[in-house]
Amino acid sequence: MTLREAVEGQEYIIEEILTDDEELNAFLFSLGCYSGEPITVISHLKKSCMVSIKDARYNLDSNLANAILIQEKS
């Protein structure tokens, strides 16, 4: 499932980031957004998602949110 499909307030684990853009991967890595890290969707907005990663909040646009695959935390 992608971040756009996530339930608000529930914690997930980042499974994979589907992008070939190395700059984007480096940027997400600098935010703490990489495989195995927990992520929580705070709210879904029309064209973006507000997420919490490592006690920080970020606003990700819809295209980026669709590129981040997540799984439910066990």
| Residue in this structure with the two tokens 């529930």, named with its chain if needed | 10
What are the C-alpha distances in Å from 42 to residues 14, 22, 57? Answer: 15, 27, 8
Is the pTM higher than 0.85? The answer reads yes
pLDDT (tens, 9 = 90+) of the chain, 74 residues, equals 999 999 999 999 999 999 888 998 898 999 899 999 999 999 998 899 999 999 899 999 998 999 999 999 87
As a whole number of angstroms, the distance between CA 67 and CA 27 comes to: 14
State pLDDT tens for residues 47-64. 999 999 998 999 999 989
